[in-house]
Amino acid sequence: MTMQYLTQLFNEISALLMSFLIAIGAVTVPSTHDPVQNKNPDAIIDFVVTGDTQICTYMPEREANLMAFSQDILNSDEELDAFIIVGDVAENGMEDEFQRLSSYIRDFNTKNFILAPGNHDIRLREWEQSKDRFYGMMNDLNGTTTEYPNAYYKHVVNGYTFLILASDESRFEDAYISNAQLQWLNVNLKEATATGKPVFVLTHYPLAESHGLPNTWGSGNSDGTGTLPTYERKNDYDFTGSIGDQSNDVYDIISKYQNVFFITGHLHTGFGKNTYQAINEANNVHGVNVPSVGIDNKDGTYNNPATGLYVEVTEDQVIFHARDFGHGKFLTENEFAECVKAYDLV
C-alpha cells in the first residue's frame, strides 16, 4: 500500500467524518451579529493572531474548530493587515496537513500571512526538509517566492516590524535558538524600536516559567482568575513547556528595548490570568500567550477552542481584543476580565 494511497484514504475518511459532524450539528456555525471589525477609528494596522491549529486527518474535531474559526473571518468585510499563527500549524508537519490548513485560510481578506514554526511542524523529520515544507506553504499563501535560509525571519507590515523566532534544529518540545539568531534578534530589535513604533516578536514557545509555567504545561486545573506578577529573571529555571535553554538569552535581548510584544502559543491555555504578563514594565515589554484553535483550552476563565486575538495598533496604543471566532463574538468582562487589553506606548 503506497503512501499516496494511504493519504488519499485518510482524506476520504476525514471528509466523511466532517460531513457527519456538520450533519449532527457538531461543527459550530459562528454568529454574524458581532463580526470581526475595526473597533478604533484611529487604528493604523489591525491583525488576527492565534495558535495551535494542529490540523490532521485523523482528528476531525480539530478541523471542525478550524472550519468555524475560518468562517467567522470570512463572514467579515474587514480587510486585515495580517493573519498570524504562532506555531503548531499542523500536528505532524505533513504536506497534506499544511495543504488542508491553507484551504481554510487562503481566502482571508489579507495580503500578509505570517506563520511561526512550532515543534509539531518540524519535529518528526529532517530539519531542512521541515523548514522548506513549512515556508513553501507560507509562500503559497502570500503568493511569493521568498527563500528562507533560516527558520527565523522578519516581516514588515505597513512600516510595523514582526520578528519571527524559530528553532534552528529539530527538537521534540522546545527550541534551540542559535547565537546567530540571537544576534539577528538584537540587531533587528534595535533598528525597529528606534522608530518609536511597537515591535511584535512572534514565536511558538514562551519564556521559561512565564504564563503560569510549569504548572500550565499539561495541566487543566489552574485557577484562571487574577493577574500574573511581572516576570523575573533567574538562573535556575524549570524549562518545562518553554522555549528552552536560551530563554534567558532571549529575555535579555527583548527586555532592553521599548514597546516589544512577545507573542507565543504552545500552552493551550484559555483566556484568563495566564494570557498577559509584563516582562519589563519600565520598557513596556509584555508577553502575550494565545489560546489554541484546534485543541480544547484549559487553565483559563474561558476555555473554548477556536479562539484568538484581534489586535489594533494606533499611534499611542496596542489594543488586544479577545474573540471566540468559533461562535462569532468578542468576549465580555463576565467571560474574561481583560477581554480588552490596551497598552500605552512609551
pLDDT in tens, 124-161: 778 788 889 999 999 999 999 999 999 999 999 999 99
pLDDT in tens, 259-272: 999 999 999 999 99
pLDDT mean across residues, the chain:
91
Q: What is the CATH number of the domain that holds 192?
A: 3.60.21.10
* Burial group, residue 255, by CB count within 10 angstroms (0-12, 13-18, 19+): middle
Grid coordinates in use for 157?
507590515
**How many other CB atoms are found less than 10 A from the CB of residue 147?**
8
Q: Place 4 in a pLDDT band, splitting at 50, 70 and 90.
A: very low
- Please tell me the predicted confidence (pLDDT) of residue 218: 80
Residue 59: predicted pLDDT? 87
Percent of the chain predicted with pLDDT > 70:
91
Confidence of residue 6 (pLDDT cuts 50, 70, 90): low
Helix (H) or strand (E) holding 244: none
Residue 25: predicted pLDDT = 55
- Cβ(27)–Cβ(64) below 8 Å: yes
Over residues 233-262, the pLDDT tens digits come to: 999 999 999 999 999 999 999 999 999 999
Q: What is the pLDDT of residue 7?
A: 47
Provide Rg for the chain, Cα atoms: 19
- Give the separation between CA 228 and CA 247, rounded to whole angstroms: 19
Q: How confident is the model at residue 91 (pLDDT cuts 50, 70, 90)?
A: confident
How many angstroms separate the Cα of 318 from the Cα of each of 43, 148, 276? 9, 29, 13
Q: What is the DSSP string of 165-199?
A: ---SS--SSS----HHHHHHHHHHHHHHHTTTS-E
Write down the residue that cell numbers 494565545 correspond to.
Answer: 290
The closest of 97, 106, 114, 108 to 141, measured between CA atoms, is: 106
How confident is the model over 166-215, as pLDDT tens digits?
998 888 888 999 999 999 999 999 999 999 999 999 999 999 999 999 99
Q: In terms of Cα–Cα distance, which of 28, 96, 12 is closest to 61?
A: 28
Length of the chain equals 346
319 in Cβ contact with 340 (< 8 Å): yes
Expressed as residue numbers, the domain containing 268 is 3-344
Residue 2 has pLDDT above 80, yes or no: no
- Would you state the pLDDT for residue 122? 84
The average pLDDT across 204-232 equals 90
More confident position, 278 or 170: 278
Least confident of 57-66, 72-81, 126-135, 290-299: 126-135
Say if CB 257 and CB 282 are below 8 A apart: no
Higher-confidence residue of 17 and 94: namely 94
Residue 27: predicted pLDDT: 63
Total number of domains constituting the chain: 1
**One-character DSSP codes across 106-148:** TTSSBS-EEE---HHHHTTS-HHHHHHHHHHHHHHHHT-----
What are 11-52's pLDDT values in tens digits? 455 555 555 555 555 567 898 899 999 999 999 999 999 999
C-alpha 165/C-alpha 32 separation (Å) is: 35
Residue 161 CB neighbour total at 10 angstroms: 19
Closest CA to 30 of 327, 332, 261, 306: 327
Give 163's strand partners: 154, 201
Q: What is the pTM of this model?
A: 0.92
Model pLDDT, residue 58: 87
Sheet-wide strand order for 199-202? 153-157, 160-164, 199-202, 260-264, 285-289, 276-280
Residue 10, helix vs strand vs coil: helix
* CA–CA distance, 190 with 258 (Å, rounded to integer): 9
Burial 48-86 (b: 16+ CB within 10 A, else e): bbbbbbbbbbebbbbbbbbbbbbbbbebbebebbbbbbb
Q: Please state, in angstroms and rounded to a whole number, the distance separating the CA atoms of residues 174 and 133.
A: 20
pLDDT of residue 9: 55
Average pLDDT of the segment spanning 324-337: 97
75 has a pLDDT exceeding 50: yes
